[in-house]
Structure 1
Amino acid sequence: MENRLFDLLNKAVSPFACVKAAKDELIECGFEEINYADKWKIKAGGKYVVDHHGTTLFAFAVGTKYRSGDMLRIAAAHTDYPCLRLKPNADFKTAAYPQVNVEVYGGPILNTWFDRPLGVAGRVALRSDDPFHPRMVLYRSKKPVMIVPNLAIHMNRDVNKGVEINNQIDLMPVLDCIPQTGENTDRSDYFITFLAKELGVDKKDIVDFELNTFCMEEPSYVGIDDTMISAPRLDNQTSCYALLSAIENADRKDGINVIAMFDHEEIGSSSKQGAASILMHDMLRRILRDMGECEADIDRIIYEAMLLSVDVAHALHPNKTGKMDITNKPVMGGGFCIKEACSQSYATDSEAVAILCQLCEKENIPYQRFVNRSDVRGGGTLGSIASTLLPVKTVDIGIPLLSMHSVRELMGAKDMDALKDCVRVFFK
């Protein structure tokens, strides 16, 4: 387990890199890549993958003995994570330090991003002969290229009491320190020059980019008996890994299994690549149409479908036990979580929950329940958003974490198998 999970964590340093890693793995496992803009020829026994704008991915497997009307089973996760993203015209210079202008993406724990070796990854748009088809290339720096330095405690005596971070002032990464005199002194395009050299292009050919910083530290086991895993991007690569493993190994003969890996969950999902897009609804209809289903049957089959929304959950914090609900206290190592909220910030459907509980109990898969304290607003995920456009039985699940949205997060090592097995049984 750990080798494949660690491999994905190391590869998926941007939504683009996550989709590429997932697509490469699926194709290696026999999935055929198809384009949404082309005509499809879906058939029983076929396995297919669709890349949507580079940061969202769909994959589906049709049973060899496909039977019209058998439950359509769907599992969804997200490819993005909270981070610092580079703005256009990113270069600026302060004294001897070239820097880049960044903005905060999602809701990271900002102080964990200080003093970390940071790389840069994402997608770059290059000039082309046809303006409607710019040349798009993926990029990932091979080494740490920037860092956000902390201010010394001697100049910030109250830092350990909690000091507010100004996103525009305090989070600007440093790229290098250059001499006060010499040819680099007045360079105003330090980063873009570096990026052009990395890509082997003229810097004038870089029209735009979607680049984020990422922590270059490696995942590692933690604990006397290696019971925990500390790593960047556990939210939500653990879920992506579970979905990929399940659909690759499912042996379902008479139905259709679908996974969706959406971008932009951390900023609300409202985009063409997010779970609030109508694409998943249209994708399912198109699959069923291509399998020869009539419109009336398509509506019926979709209505009877079921969706797993797979994203991380909160584990009981040993130093802050009062932050947890008084009767629902999941811990790391106790199994994956079923997440519920009457506000529907987590999709709560007792029928769907009962289905999942019974499947897991039959297979001896450990699970726990998570509900927020009644006086805590809590977070949400893509489940409820997706089900507004796809009104089907839905349940939110995921691995319980500590340090969620930190640059490094913490999980129980055994919980990965529990989540993976849960999705596999759902697709069985």
Structure 2
Amino acid sequence: MTRKLHLNAFLMGVGHHEAAWRHPRTDPSRIADVRHYQDLARIAERGKLDSVFLADGLALWGDVRHNALGGLEPLTLLAALAAVTDHVGLIATVSTTYNEPFHVARKFASLDHISGGRAGWNIVTSAGEAEAHNFGVERPAHADRYARATEFLEVVTKLWDSWEDDAILSDRAGGLYADTGKIHPIEHAGEHFTVRGPLNTSRPPQGHPLLVQAGSSEDGKEFAARHAEAVFTAQQTLAEGREFYADLKRRVTRHGRQPGDLLVLPGISPIIGSTEREALRLEKELEDLIIPAYGLVQLSRMTGIELSEDALDRPLPDIPVETEGAQSRRKLVVDLARREGLTVRQLIGRLAGGRGHRVVAGTPEQIADEIQEWFEGGAADGFNVMPPLLPAGLADFVDHVVPELRVRGLFRDEYESRTLRGNYGLARPGSRYAAHDGAQLEVAVAG
């Protein structure tokens, strides 16, 4: 079968460009309006995109004085999107650092049931100090966060498996709703968690909601190779994309999986015009709306050093790449500045559109050229599409770039499946307990 692209729409407020809220094609009053996101999900589904994705953090990121921040909690929002769509996948970020496995397993199982098998979990470990302060703790070390995440995921998947697929009988005549021999305590006792189980929600339609990961540090890549089924990543050049792709596929094989078991989806922020001049004009409009003070705060957070206005027209200072925070993104930013000899001001401009993801301005054909080159050149299985403006940028992509990709035989005409796993071409896992004779459960009824 011919290999096909996978496309995810990364929905962020009124656009990924940090100045999007100031542009006349957006309406920042809709940042917390569920109807805005429902419209975006419908646009994505109209284009037959695989999925939509909502990122999340557990602190107020950035300088709200100069940007439209403060969105909605993603799982709550995705349930509302499920109600107005039928096929598009629904992926949300949820942290393993400041949650408990039972809560997360139940919420994603619920979303999978509500959506008919379209839920996906972007697994993150919360690298920021501000997040730790919101929970009254010190930020855990990088390695400790990933050790907790590994066990956290183990517990969650056990809980999803705790009901076998055929546990529910619904035998009204016989008075039997469920076969309790097919509902299993998980009896997990580990370094970080002790969880008896079973889950109090039946098995998700997908077996396991899709598992996504977004870290590109060494720990992140190893975690993805062992567990993830899709990776959202950031690379600036085709050579970097190929290197990351090949490295991750090698790691997947080393962990006893097939290369196709993990899809690599680099981020791309397409600035689209009917002509190249029109696209470059839109790029310039957005650049002119950048507030340098906001960019300095963002860049200071990415690099871990305080940058003042005095630094704007100087090269980026020396910065240690090793950090307990977001290691891979810091390295990407430093490498970009050094490779292209950018001043701090120029670097702010380059990062404004995608925070380190690749920004491409051009016609639909030129955007499709970039996508095809990476897809056929061993750097991607698809893309995490990050429109600079929403909803206009997503509509432009769906209405003009997607048809071009179809003409080239790269993207679907219709959905292949009603589930997210089915459209990503990934297998549905069975319950780990299905082959065993489970002990009869004693069901406690709260009264």
Structure with the higher helix share, 1 or 2: 2
Structure with the higher strand share, 1 or 2: 1
- TM-score normalised by length of structure 2: 0.25
- TM-score normalised by length of structure 1: 0.26
